Amino acid sequence: MLFFQQVYRCLTAKHLTDKLQQLDALIVAWSENAVDMTPTGKIERIADPGRPDRPELVPPKDLVRRRLGSPEGHAALMHAIAHIEFNAVNLALDALYRFQTMPRDYYADWLGVATEEAYHFQMIREHLSGLGYDYGDFPAHNGLWLTTYETDHDPLVRMAMVPRTLEARGLDVTPDMIKRLRAVGDQRGVEILKILLRDEIGHVAVGTRWFRYLCEQQGRNPFETFQAILHQYFHGDIRGPFNYEARVEAGFSAEEIAWLKAMEAQTFAQSS
């Protein structure tokens, strides 16, 4: 199997079943060492990856906020999480396809991430079905992929911005979502989010590992480089609260943790 061509086909597949089946075939071929890692030559920019016609994609400001205490609001929260996980599958596939001269362990790592994100998506979709809804029944936004597209020119920038910034934010907000689901008696949702939090720590750690590898290859200071990339590419403010324990598990350095704590303290002081 030509690895990068198959990843591209999987990334651009629109139908959910087709995408997941192609990913399964890719995983089997990798496990059997039946992949040809020859680069493709020209690498296509992908403004919009393969996705089903629904959900409708709208600007974040146009998303309707629903109360979790209502059945529709409960389902809307799970749908939002499902959408994040679906995008994360495409994100991991793009990390595989786009950067074709990395060490072999890089592809093993990101193929593992894609596998877990697909598992997360399927779990949440099944739970959503139990609530009377399916993926696509609520509108969603495309912010995660837009950042993926903006960082498709440099693996160093991609590792800093997507896993270490956007996905790391999931480590911060998931504990509160777990509390909210527990409060409405959704024990299955709580169990799913605990699995997601555990696995996402590993995914952020993958981003950290390869970010630092690339910094080392280029003779760059990881902390200063991370700050510089955020300053250039991050749209908005980095605000707490931060899940410091999870971020340490995901490989954030003591210097980075101290920096985040200082920012959180500054934000708190400004709001007091």
Q: Is residue 46 part of a domain?
A: no
Q: What is the predicted pLDDT for the residue at 213?
A: 98
Q: What is the mean pLDDT of the chain?
A: 94
Q: How far apart are CA 85 and CA 185, in angstroms?
A: 23
Q: Is residue 185 part of a domain?
A: yes
Q: How far apart are CA 98 and CA 4, in angstroms?
A: 9
Q: What is the predicted pLDDT for the residue at 175?
A: 96
How many structural domains compose the chain? Answer: 1
**What residue has token string 């777990």?**
178
213-234 tens-digit pLDDT:
999 999 999 999 999 999 999 9
96-139 tens-digit pLDDT:
999 999 999 999 999 999 999 999 999 999 999 999 999 999 99
Q: Is residue 66 part of a domain?
A: no
Q: Is residue 139 part of a domain?
A: yes
Q: What is the predicted pLDDT for the residue at 271?
A: 62
Q: Is residue 83 part of a domain?
A: yes
Report the SS3 class of residue 4.
helix
Q: Is residue 52 part of a domain?
A: no
Q: Is residue 60 part of a domain?
A: no
Whole-model pTM? 0.95
pLDDT tier at 270, thresholds 50, 70, 90 = low
Q: Is residue 102 part of a domain?
A: yes
Residue 155: asked if its preceding bond is cis (omega within 30°), the reply is no
Structural domain boundaries enclosing 123? 3-41+76-271
156 Cα distance to chain centroid: 16
CATH code assigned at 157: 1.20.1260
pLDDT tier at 269, thresholds 50, 70, 90 = low
Check if the beta carbon of residue 132 is closer than 8 Å to that of residue 75.
yes
